[in-house]
Amino acid sequence: MKKYKLAIIGSGSLGGIIARFVAKQMSDEYQILGVQSGNIKNAVKLATEIDCKAYESLSEVIDDKPDYVIEAASPDVFKEIGLEILDNGISLIPLSVGALADKRFYNTIKASALANNCRVHIPAGAVGGFDVLRASMLMEHAQVSITTQKSPQSLNGAPFLEGRALSEDTPEEIFSGSAKEAIEHFPENVNVAVTTALATTGVENTKVSINSIPGFESNRHEIKLLGETISVNVIVETTPSPNNPKSSSLAAYSVISVLQNLVSPITF
């Protein structure tokens, strides 16, 4: 079996989980060529741990000709690097799916993947159920919504709040709108909303509710799909990543699941 070559952009909590898992448990299927990060010290530390390169630039990544690049950094980084990666015929697995709420960027990425015979593999992130959600949308028209509940600490600092600190005592719905609006206002909190929207009714038609729950120790996402003959509820509740309370470690493992599917003779 061919061993595929990987590069990872992002050496934070999620990128580290992916890198360590692949290095320890998937070394027969994948070779990690290197890691790139905005923080070169973090990249060097992780690269030393898993015995690979620490890239200083995207051009070094591309020159190494990986089969796949995993983006585990931020929506802004995805927008900065995504097109160049695909233009060089390298497939991409992005965690910062929220960037695809930008219709122009989405169309540009799609066109490049088609033109250069590569793919963008979207992981489920911190939610799931996309098999039944997508099948339901093929079956009939439906309405889709996602309700997110997080602690104030997970949501504080979002651009939408404009510096306002959320109450530590009173639960509140702090946002209601489309997935497109949600990711603009909460770029580090609701990649799951955009992933759900892309799999179903689109970023402008998927309704999002974001709620701050004082004392809440989990990230909870509830996806509801309602059609004429089918109703789907998907609830995922996870503990926030210890090093990144705005996200969940499950998101990293969803990338690992994609990697497993890419090499498995039987896929889901």
Catalytic residue among 121, 141, 185, 221: 221
For the segment 46-55, the average pLDDT, to the nearest whole number, is 98
User: Could you give the CA distance from residue 191 to residue 200 in angstroms, rounded to a whole number?
Assistant: 14
- The pLDDT of residue 243: 78
Q: Which domain holds residue 220?
A: 130-246
Q: How far is CA 38 from CA 93, 116, 141, 265, in A?
A: 18, 27, 43, 36
Query: The whole model's pTM is what?
Result: 0.94
pLDDT at residue 105 in the model: 98
Are 193 and 159 found together in one domain? Answer: yes
Domain tally, the chain:
2
The domain that holds 158 is classified in CATH as 3.30.360.10
Token pair, residue 167, equals: 């109450």
Does residue 137 share a domain with residue 115?
no
- For residue 255, being part of any structural domain is answered with no
Do 40 and 58 lie in one domain? The reply is: yes
Residue 245 has pLDDT above 90, yes or no: no
Q: List strand residue ranges (DSSP E) for 118-166, in order.
A: 142-150
- Among the three residues 121, 152, 183, which one is the final residue of a domain in this structure? 121
Q: What is the DSSP letter of 217?
A: -
Per-residue pLDDT reduced to its tens digit, 52-61: 999 999 999 9
Average pLDDT over residues 31-53: 96
Check: CB of residue 251 under 8 Å from CB of residue 189: no
Q: What is the mean pLDDT of residues 145-163?
A: 95
Instruction: Determine, yes or no, domain membership for 10.
Output: yes
| 151, 202: one domain | yes
pLDDT-based confidence at residue 7 (cuts at 50, 70, 90): very high
185 is catalytic: no
pLDDT (average), residues 68-93: 98
Of all residues in the chain, what percent carry a pLDDT higher than 70? 100
Q: Are residues 179 and 114 in the same domain?
A: no
Q: State whether 139 and 74 are in the same domain.
A: no
What distance in Å separates the CA atoms of residue 186 and residue 118, rounded to the nearest whole number?
A: 30
d(CA 55, CA 69): 13
**What mean pLDDT comes out for the span 201-220?**
96
Does residue 170 share a domain with residue 89? no
Are 98 and 200 part of one and the same domain? no
User: Are residues 216 and 174 located together in one domain of the fold?
Assistant: yes
pLDDT classification of 1: cutoffs 50, 70, 90: confident
d(C-alpha 174, C-alpha 239), whole Å: 21
Q: Are residues 237 and 172 in the same domain?
A: yes
Domain shared by 146 and 93, yes or no? no
Which helix (DSSP H) or strand (DSSP E) does residue 195 occupy? helix 191-199
Q: Are residues 116 and 140 in the same domain?
A: no
Average pLDDT score, the chain: 96
Q: How confident is the model over 18-47, as a mean pLDDT?
A: 97
What CATH number is given to the structural domain containing 10? Answer: 3.40.50.720
